[in-house]
């Protein structure tokens, strides 16, 4: 049986705000820095149930119930751990993937655990050096010059790596970290790849050390700031990618910023770590930064879980404008609204806040321009619209960028804005966007065709279509024909995951939803179907031949079909439980579990309009229930 990775469980918790979660079940009232309510787990008149936003924890001083978001769902809904986890993962948009429970997988988990231990302990070591080591007075002076004190260093666990590498290597040996683990962490490397016996060199030396943390706050890498000028090395160097650190998956300060981002529905994207830190120290807590690398599609997918709007706060020069455009290209397809802060020339968030104050900076953020407004205004200032050629070039740029927007309603609004600013007809712009969308999809199709083909399935002449439950087949067609239905089904992770064990073909539906081909584009749908295995194509084509798809209200049709599928699953579960109850030799504990499950299913079936009453249970089951009750007494 597989396991859910610890990092995945923590990711679900990181993406779930416990106040919002519990507030959706019971009314909460503000009480100081937390919230209170009458406990949902026992009867009381005076509230003793407390929820802590900072700790993401709940506790009842009356009955003693306490836990995190998963624990609350388990207790409140009577779910098992995995069921509660699946429910929260579905809401958070986190994909749950089981890891095999093999010796190799166990070794990999142990290795990741050792790397996390090494980073956590090394971060504490570097921080202790910064606070107490007489040899790093220059590092402390640098922080003071930047306007940061001891409190900031403690909040961010800023540290210092000594100049002498033996100090760190001796510490690692005392802590029983191996040379292989040091190399695997990126903190050290082999002096000679071909001669491991030549020893190690330490990657960071005499640098201010900024811990890089994942979404849940684990230290997974470091960014080292040069303190003495050395042209042979960069001002900042980051840890190399490791088993626990992938730059495209990590955003600096997201662990501290995520709650503020969720609350404000807005993220401020800075260019560097110091800028993000300055924002937080000034009270602007929804600021983050990439790690000295390009903003990626994975970064955008991560931010989509927390924010609706991204405010870009980059340098006010041509390089900053290009960085804004690169970020827009990743953020827009995910449906995020993109705005740009206009900083004075030569300023960044850190210098601006120190010079003008945080209120002035907040005002700049509040007045941030929509991306296209900013882009066209910058082009006008640069004289790009003074010639017909420049105007045509800008028009093509804007057309391509508008075509990327995943939020079509926002795109329609922006089309009118851009057309007006460029003096173009909106119809002309829409035609250009349609062409850009077709070109992008053609390129995507060509790329798919150029990929290595799937392994050829044997005996193709005797292939049978993939087994596909009729209701699942109908849902597949809805997902391919209706955008509202596709969006709705993408949110039904828990229901579909449960159905997978009871009805045929749910895996194909999940593949459709994972790819989410545009239902409004027959080319996109056909290209996707062509990418499927032959048996899957045959099943879909068979359904198409049996059903003329005209979904009308696709959302309503999907809701009704999913309700039918849920009823089928319940009936199959009910039959399986009844069959298990008729088997001889059931232990009392197992009988209790089965009877409780039977009652739960019966209640759900009654709720869905397909009643199952006790008189429908086999007489043998009724006798066993009486036997269990007698045993319990």
pLDDT digits (tens, 9 = 90+) for 79-109: 788 888 888 888 877 777 766 667 877 787 7
Whether this model's pTM surpasses 0.85: no
610/469 Cα distance (integer angstroms)? 20
- Identify the DSSP state of 323: H
In tens, the pLDDT along 184-220 reads 999 999 988 888 888 898 999 999 999 999 887 889 9
pLDDT of residue 628: 44
pLDDT of residue 457: 39
Q: Is 197 helix (H, G, I), strand (E, B) or coil?
A: helix
Average pLDDT for 606-629: 46
Half-sphere exposure of 431 (CA within 13 A, CB side): 5
Burial class (CB in 10 A: 0-12, 13-18, 19+), 27: exposed
Lowest mean pLDDT among 124-133, 347-356, 425-434: 425-434
In tens, the pLDDT along 229-249 reads 777 777 888 899 998 898 888
pLDDT of residue 546: 39
- Tell me how far apart the terminal alpha carbons of the chain are, to the nearest angstrom: 36
Residue 610 scores a pLDDT above 60:
no
pLDDT of residue 305: 76
Mark residue 587 as left, alpha or beta (left: phi above 0; alpha: psi -120 to 50; beta: remaining).
Answer: beta
pLDDT of residue 593: 79
Residue 257 scores a pLDDT above 80:
yes
Higher pLDDT, 525 or 437: 437
Average pLDDT for 125-135: 95
Please give the C-alpha separations between residue 65 and each of 42, 46, 49, 74, 563, in angstroms, as whole numbers: 10, 16, 9, 12, 34
Task: Choose from 12-26, 45-59, 360-374 the range with maximum mean pLDDT.
Answer: 360-374
Residue 304 scores a pLDDT above 60:
yes
pLDDT of residue 633: 41
Average pLDDT for 617-625: 45
In tens, the pLDDT along 469-519 reads 888 988 988 888 888 888 888 878 677 877 887 888 888 898 888 777 777
pLDDT of residue 417: 86
pLDDT of residue 292: 67
pLDDT of residue 178: 93
pLDDT of residue 608: 53
- Identify the DSSP state of 289: B
Q: Facing residues of 267 across strands?
A: 310
181/461 Cα distance (integer angstroms)? 53
Q: In this structure, what is the dihedral angle of CA atoms 8, 14, 17, 22, given to the nearest 10 degrees?
A: 40
Higher pLDDT, 316 or 390: 390
Q: Among residues 190, 194, 213, which one has the least CA distance to residue 203?
A: 190
- Torsions phi, psi for 189 (to 5 deg): -145, 160
In tens, the pLDDT along 109-120 reads 788 889 999 999
Give 105-155 as a 3 state SS string: HHHHHHHHHHHHHHHHHHHHHHHHHHHHCHHHHHHHHHHHHCCCCHHHHHH
What integer best gives the mean pLDDT of the chain? 82
DSSP notation for 382-441: TTTTSSHHHHHHHHHHHHHHHHT-S-HHHHHHHHHHHHHHHT--HHHHHHHHHHHHHHHH
Q: 131 near 153, Cβ under 8 Å?
A: yes
Long-range Cβ contact pairs of 41-47 (< 8 A, separation 24 or more): 41/65, 41/75, 41/76
Average pLDDT for 337-349: 91
Average pLDDT for 567-594: 81
In tens, the pLDDT along 259-302 reads 888 888 899 999 889 999 999 999 999 999 988 667 888 889 88
Q: What percent of the chain has pLDDT over 90?
A: 28
Task: Using pLDDT thresholds of 50, 70 and 90, give the confidence band for residue 440.
Answer: low
Residue 545 scores a pLDDT above 50:
no
Task: Using pLDDT thresholds of 50, 70 and 90, give the confidence band for residue 1.
Answer: very low
Task: Using pLDDT thresholds of 50, 70 and 90, give the confidence band for residue 552.
Answer: low
């Amino acid at each position: 049986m597989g396991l859910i990775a610890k990092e995945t469980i923590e990711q679900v918790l990181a993406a779930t705000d416990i106040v919002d979660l519990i507030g959706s079940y019971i009314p909460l009232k503000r009480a100081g820095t937390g919230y209170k309510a009458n406990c949902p787990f026992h009867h009381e008149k005076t509230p003793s149930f407390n929820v802590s936003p900072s700790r993401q924890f709940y506790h009842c001083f009356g009955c003693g119930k306490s836990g995190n978001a998963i624990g609350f769902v388990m207790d409140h809904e009577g779910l098992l751990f995995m069921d509660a986890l699946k429910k929260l993962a579905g809401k958070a948009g986190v994909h749950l993937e089981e890891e095999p429970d093999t010796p190799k997988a166990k070794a990999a988990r142990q290795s990741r655990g050792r790397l996390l231990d090494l980073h956590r302990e090394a971060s504490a070591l570097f921080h202790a050096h910064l606070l107490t080591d007489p040899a790093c007075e220059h590092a402390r002076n640098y922080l003071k010059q930047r306007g940061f004190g001891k409190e900031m260093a403690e909040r961010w666990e800023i540290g210092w790596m000594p100049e002498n590498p033996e100090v760190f290597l001796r510490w690692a040996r005392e802590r029983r970290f191996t040379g292989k683990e040091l190399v695997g962490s990126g903190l050290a490397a082999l002096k000679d790849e071909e001669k491991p016996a030549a020893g190690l060199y330490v990657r960071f030396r005499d640098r201010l050390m900024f811990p890089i943390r994942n979404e849940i706050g684990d230290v997974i890498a470091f960014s080292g700031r040069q303190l003495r000028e050395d042209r042979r090395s960069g001002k900042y160097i980051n840890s190399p990618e490791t088993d626990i650190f992938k730059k495209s998956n990590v955003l600096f300060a997201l662990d501290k910023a995520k709650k503020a981002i969720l609350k404000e529905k807005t993220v401020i994207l800075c260019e560097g770590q110091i800028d993000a830190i300055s924002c937080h120290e000034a009270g602007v807590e929804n600021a983050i930064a990439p790690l000295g690398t390009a903003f990626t599609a994975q970064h955008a997918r991560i931010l989509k879980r927390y924010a609706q709007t991204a405010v870009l706060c980059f340098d006010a020069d041509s390089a900053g404008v290009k960085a804004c455009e690169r970020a827009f290209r990743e953020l827009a397809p995910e449906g995020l609204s993109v705005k740009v802060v206009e900083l004075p020339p030569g300023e960044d968030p850190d210098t601006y806040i120190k010079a003008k104050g945080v209120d002035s900076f907040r005002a700049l953020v509040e007045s941030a321009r929509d991306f296209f407004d900013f882009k066209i205004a910058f082009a006008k200032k640069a004289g790009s619209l003074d010639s017909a050629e420049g105007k045509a070039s800008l028009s093509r740029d804007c057309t391509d960028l508008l075509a990327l927007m995943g939020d079509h309603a926002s795109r329609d609004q922006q089309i009118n804005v851009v057309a007006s600013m460029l003096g173009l007809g909106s119809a002309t712009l829409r035609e250009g966007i349609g062409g850009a969308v077709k070109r992008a999809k053609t390129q995507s199709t060509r790329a798919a065709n150029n990929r290595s083909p799937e392994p050829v399935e044997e005996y193709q002449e005797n292939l049978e279509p993939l087994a596909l439950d009729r209701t699942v087949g109908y849902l597949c067609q809805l997902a391919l024909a209706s955008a509202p239905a596709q969006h709705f089904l993408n949110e039904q992770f828990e229901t579909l995951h449960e159905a997978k064990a009871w009805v045929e073909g749910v895996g194909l539906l999940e593949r459709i939803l994972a790819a989410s081909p545009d239902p409004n584009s027959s080319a996109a749908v056909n290209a996707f179907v062509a990418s499927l295995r032959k048996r899957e194509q045959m099943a879909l084509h068979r359904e198409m031949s049996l059903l003329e798809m005209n979904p009308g209200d696709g959302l309503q049709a999907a809701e009704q079909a999913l309700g039918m599928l849920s009823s089928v699953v319940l009936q199959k579960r009910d039959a399986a439980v009844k069959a298990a109850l008729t088997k001889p030799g059931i232990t009392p504990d197992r009988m209790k579990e089965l009877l409780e499950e039977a009652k739960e299913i019966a209640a759900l079936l009654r709720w869905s309009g397909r009643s199952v009453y006790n008189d429908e249970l086999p007489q043998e089951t009724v006798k066993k229930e009486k036997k269990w009750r007698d045993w319990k007494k």
